[in-house]
Chain A
Amino acid sequence: MANIDERNVLKNIFNYFLLILLAVVILVPFFIGIWTSFLPTADILKGNYFSTNISLTNYIDAFTNTPILRYLGNTIVVATITMFAHLLFCSMSAYAFVFLDFKYKKFFFALFMITMMLPSEAAIIPNFQTVKALGLLDHYSAMIVPSLTSAFGTFMLRQSFMQTPKELKEAADIEGLNHFQIFWKVVLPYNRISLITLGAYSFLGAWNSYLWPILVTFSNNSRVIQNGLKQLQSEETFNNWGMIQASAAIIVIPTILVLFIGQHYFKSGLNEGAVK
């Protein structure tokens, strides 16, 4: 028996060693990025990572000398509007596909499915011309209007709406509600979890989009954060690594915190096994 215990202990030590080693490998880019964001650029360029000149200077510089707050504000506006637009238009079209009967329904649904197979990257030339013709270049709307709806979002909500229980339908029918009322008072509240999921997905999608915004924005008034970091990096601040790292940290820390808090709730089921 003692032999087996000993072997288990050795195996666990090896497991923990591997777990920690991989955690370090994954976290090293974070540690270095965030640590150097507190160091003077002169020390960073000399490779003096163990400098003790820790300060918040880089952060103050980033906030006062660069338009990073403007970039963040632009991104939040664009991502929030995109999110609400997706929630509205996707849930409306999903409602039509689940609860309404109309001619060529199958054909229209097939169109939505085909849309999911087409990469938006391949459509940039005509879309650029459209947005230009509409006079939207370098405005928020250039980023918002082309992605007001999403075929994926419609598909996802359709799958969810199909699970709405029949009892609710009967109740709505008895009350004599019309489709707008059923949509607003019955279907949307019942499917709120799916709506929250789509909302998070859409917000993150807009937050992370890179190619389209870089094509249609030219000034800091409308530039979003993903392109803004490139701008900072290519401008006069090129070698000011301390400040660039601070800018990256300013963007990544809030999302990581949200992720940790969110995970605590979402993954509580997943983590049960860990309590033993």
Chain B
Amino acid sequence: MLKTSATDVIPEKKVEAKQKSKFKLTANDKYYASIFAGPSLFLLGLFVFYPMFRTLYISLFLTNTFGNTTLFVGLENYVKLISSPDFVSSMWVTLVYVVGVTFFTIAMGLLLANLASQKLPGIAIFRTLYSVTMGVSVSVAAIFWLFIFNPSAGFFTLLTKMLNLPTINWLANPTNAMWAIIITTVWMHLGFVFLVFLGAIESVPTTLYEAADVEGVSKHYQFFHITLPMISPTLFFISTITIIGSFKSFGLIDLITKGGPTNATNMLVYRIYNDAFFGGNYAKSSAEAIILTVIIAFFTYLQFKFLEKKVNY
């Protein structure tokens, strides 16, 4: 076959430009682009960009009970929030929750993945069992754990009675309620985090461990000086998605504590929801939503930056 393609006559620079987009470009591209990208752009505009700007706008006004803006007040809603002990305590509670969930999810995930990465007979069974919570949705997790925390018939109460220990009222005490929410969240996320860590640990070259074995380096030392540095990109990825997910936590709080007792678990998103749909204070809720957006955008941006760096190297 005779192959006298156009590229033979076009100067090198132009060829490069042409190869950048892999398929043939025609004058019709604009028309096709509006058909292909149009629907998604329109939908994202209507349900993501418009509401974000609208929320920002509302947060600078006072609102009536219908959510209509009445009086421009600038940053007053934000000033009020930051100076209200109620909101500050809510942010504090959210922070405690995020740090707790992130720390324990990663620690438990690493422990499980490290154990399950050993080459032992029957290890496949444990890998399956450890990933089981991936199939659990928020309401199921809440119901299983609500029963465990139940003060009269729950598993923990029964256990403490059997061991003759003082029974703990999990959901009536502020500190315990926070622990209850953290435990349930960690449990729910563990299956997924375990699988991701396991995949990362498995991909560490075994020659590194073999060399360390020859040198007589302890397994403990190997974990901290070979495994952890080698899986640090995964560690970073899991940290950021866990932080982002915990800042946005809503379902478990609504199902288990309803923000209580005495606001001890009243976190940011639960506040946004309550202030708008029960308190009727749309301006306050919008200001809180903007604060949430800034936090989430920051962590997502960190993640993008990191991924970009990884791709480049």
Q: Do A and B come from one complex?
A: yes
Chain A, range 98-117, C-beta contacts under 8 Å to B: 98-103, 105, 108, 111-113, 115-117
Q: How far is the CA of A101 from the CA of B36 in the complex (A)?
A: 12
Residue of A nearest to B219 (CB): A11
Interface residues in B, total, Cβ within 8 A: 101
Partner-binding segment picked from A16-24, A54-62, A188-196: A16-24
A12 lies within 8 A of chain B by Cβ: yes
Min CB gap B149→A, angstroms: 10
- As a 0/1 sequence over residues 151 to 164 of chain B, the CB contacts with chain A under 8 angstroms (1 = contact) are 01101011001000
Contact at B126–A259, with CB atoms within 8 Å? Answer: no
Count of A-B contacts with CB under 8 A?
A: 286
Residues of A within 8 A of B282 (CB): 125
Per the bound structure, the CA–CA distance linking A32 and B157 in Å amounts to 13
Inter-subunit contact A263/B251 (CB<8 Å): no
Contact B44 A112 (CB under 8 A): yes
- The CA-CA distance from A47 to B146 in the complex, in Å, is 15
Task: Given A45-B153, A111-B41, A126-B50, check contact A244 B143 (CB 8 Å).
Answer: yes
A190 to B115, CA, bound (A): 38
Closest chain A residue to B39 by CB distance?
Answer: A89
Please, how many angstroms separate the alpha-carbon atoms of A15 and B117 in the complex?
11
Query: B127, A121: Cβ atoms under 8 Å?
Result: no
Given A47-B158, A211-B269, A211-B273, A26 and B133 contact (CB-CB distance below 8 Å): yes
Q: Is B119 within 8 A of A122, CB to CB? A: no
**From A22, which residue of chain B is reached at the shortest CB distance?**
B112
Residue A260 CB within 8 A of the other chain: yes
CA distance A128 to B55 in the complex (A): 12
CB distance from A20 to the nearest CB of B (A): 8
- Do A118 and B52 touch (CB < 8 A)? yes
Report Cα–Cα, A215/B285, bound state, in Å. 15
Query: For the complex, is B179 an interface residue (Cβ under 8 Å from A)?
Result: no
Chain A window 61-92, contacts with chain B (Cβ cutoff 8 Å), 1 for yes, 0 for no: 00000000000000000000000000001101
Cα(A119)–Cα(B111), bound, Å:
31
Interface contact B36-A119, CB-CB below 8 Å = no
Query: In the complex the two chains form, what is the Cα distance from A113 to B41 in whole Å?
Result: 12
Judge if B48 is at the interface, Cβ distance under 8 Å.
Answer: yes
Cβ of B250: which chain A residues have Cβ within 8 Å of it?
Answer: 121, 210-211
Inter-chain CA distance A46–B152, complex, in Å, is: 8
Q: Does B212 contact A (CB under 8 A)?
A: no
Pair B289/A226 contact, Cβ less than 8 Å: no
Interfacial residues of chain B within 17-62, with CB under 8 A of chain A in the complex: 21-25, 28-30, 32-37, 39-41, 43-44, 46-52, 54-55, 58
Interface pair B49/A121, CB less than 8 Å apart: no
- From known contacts A22-B111, A28-B155, infer whether A118 and B296 are also in contact, taking CB-CB under 8 Å: yes
Are A123 and B67 closer than 8 Å at their CB atoms?
Answer: no
B297 to chain A minimum Cβ distance, whole angstroms, is: 4
A122-B52 in contact given A93-B41, A259-B132, A259-B135 (Cβ < 8 Å)? yes
**CB-defined contacts of B150 to chain A, threshold 8 Å:** 241
Q: Mark A133-146, 1 if CB is under 8 A from B, else 0.
A: 00000000000011
Instruction: Please indicate the chain B residues that have their CB under 8 angstroms from the CB of A93 in the complex.
Output: 36-37, 39-41
B119 touches A173 (CB 8 A): no
Is B277 interfacial (CB 8 A cutoff)?
A: yes
In the assembled complex, 28 residue pairs joining A and B whose CB atoms fall closer than 8 Å, in A order, are A22-B112, A26-B129, A28-B148, A30-B144, A33-B147, A89-B43, A92-B35, A93-B37, A96-B33, A102-B37, A116-B300, A119-B296, A121-B292, A122-B290, A122-B292, A123-B47, A125-B285, A126-B50, A129-B67, A182-B23, A225-B139, A229-B255, A230-B139, A230-B254, A251-B139, A252-B136, A255-B136, A270-B202
The 5 closest A-B pairs by CB, nearest first: A123-B51, A126-B51, A122-B289, A210-B251, A96-B37
